[in-house]
A and B are shown apart, each in its own frame.
Chain A
């Protein structure tokens, strides 16, 4: 018996050490990125492993002076916020109809939307570029936004339709008796109850929209419309040997998403797991 307990403890210690090493392999490169961004180029070579001598924001200040970083950052925020807002509005209204009404083609329409979750939109890039040129929308933030919205629709419909189905029909019926029109049932009854699901949709879509590099690379040419990932690639190429600056560029691109994840990690796990188990 005692031997058994001993064995169990050893196994547990081994598992624990394995997880500690795994976590270090994740945290170390990320920490290295942040720490190095505070070092001077000299320090980066003489003291690559240690902490920076001082946490001066020299590289960050330089980043904002040598490039239009403020513009890039602003563009990314505009694209992300507007895309998310529109995704939430149009997928919640569509899901409301899909979940609460009976009509021909209803199941087909649901599948039609949901199948989009596994369609890699990149494979339509040439046609989308052609469309943007025809619409004179090439090289505008609109081009990147509308594509982000299209990509966000399938997951939004998938999560929200399920969620609205779980809202008891009696609530809508009661509102109807009180003389509520269908759109106001959606506004007064459904939306307040839908908040957690809306949060999930927004949180899950936030990261791919913020990080998108492919479409900005293809669509955006002018400096005034560049987004953070595109600027990251640009500045990395331009300042390759200025390590401190380059690490500041990488850190700046990562802070918004990592902070967001640390704040909302619970929603991430719930949202993605529900997708995994149902899909």
Chain B
């Protein structure tokens, strides 16, 4: 029966697990070619954490990524929860609303990014036209060119796309509440607000954890949205640079376009791994210790 297990173990180990570890090993190497071959110890990390421009780029990507994560987490958890709460009430067309909410999630981030780049485009941009039509033309600005708005716009677009995932998870959580519990509460005279506060909210607490950790992992490796909306240069002036785009530029771009060589790229991806790893550990610590786990 070993033959039944072997292909899955082999492919999974060789093409997923080992490469993660091997990339960490490569972060201790340097070299001009595609494969770094000179052992340099912690040199790449020393450069990354202390020298210009490596340190500045990384600190910038980190702070952008944190802001990006906070915006997405807030929107997706709060909005996602309320949409899920609404579509689990007795409302006409709730099946339709549930289905529609997931539709953008099926599209590629790339397509969504390009689509909103066109919608926000100052030359044709339908968004500015809508603002003008409802008398808000004074708010119009170069959405993706202004350092103040570019990053939040990217975060909102990503939230728009993945809202469906939060709605789906919260809906599953609310649907899993036994009917007797809700009925008993109604007999005891609980109104919708009491039901929300005393029954629904406590039972979806673990879902907050799942939604947030998935966003965390996704956002700290997010690349496609930056590529589509702000190019690999993370315009304006690295204002939308995230770890994913920093990693791509560092590892795979030419030096003129911000490439630092494969060894440095591996160092960046190792830093990303430890960020994601700490996030997962924190999540396990807060959400999984009270026997929430199966």
A residues lining the B interface (CB < 8 Å): 11-12, 15-16, 18-19, 22-23, 25-27, 29-30, 32-33, 44-45, 48-49, 89-91, 93-94, 96-98, 101, 109, 113, 116, 118-131, 133, 146-147, 149-151, 153-154, 157, 182-183, 186, 207, 210-211, 213-214, 218, 229, 232-233, 236, 243, 246-247, 250, 253-254, 257-258, 260-261, 265, 268-269, 272-273, 276-279
Contact = CB atoms under 8 A, between A and B. Distances in A.
A265 B266 CA distance: 39
B78 interface: no
29 contacts: A15-B89, A16-B93, A19-B97, A22-B97, A26-B100, A30-B107, A44-B124, A91-B8, A94-B9, A124-B18, A124-B23, A125-B19, A127-B18, A127-B266, A130-B26, A130-B35, A146-B11, A150-B12, A153-B8, A182-B1, A207-B106, A210-B108, A211-B108, A211-B110, A232-B108, A246-B114, A253-B108, A269-B98, A277-B176
Query: What class of interface size applies to chain B in its complex with A?
Result: 35 or more
Nearest to B3: A93
Interface of B: 1, 4-5, 7-9, 11-12, 14-20, 22-23, 25-26, 34-35, 83, 86-87, 89, 91-94, 96-104, 106-111, 114-116, 118-119, 124, 126, 129, 160, 165, 168-169, 171-173, 175-176, 192, 207, 210, 213, 217, 221, 223-224, 227-228, 244, 247, 251-252, 262, 265-266, 269-270, 272-273, 276, 280, 294
A243 B20 CA distance: 40
A95 B41 CA distance: 41
Of listed B109, B119, B124, residue having the most chain A CB within 10 A: B124
Contact of B87 (A19, A118, A183): A19
Q: Which of B19, B22, B160, B172 has the most CB of A within 10 A?
A: B19
A147 B8 contact: no
Q: Is the interface of B mostly helix, strand, loop or mixed?
A: helix
Contacts of B224: 213-214
B126 A48 contact: yes
A215 to B, nearest CB: 11
A123 B168 contact: no
A173 B63 CA distance: 59
B12 to A, nearest CB: 5
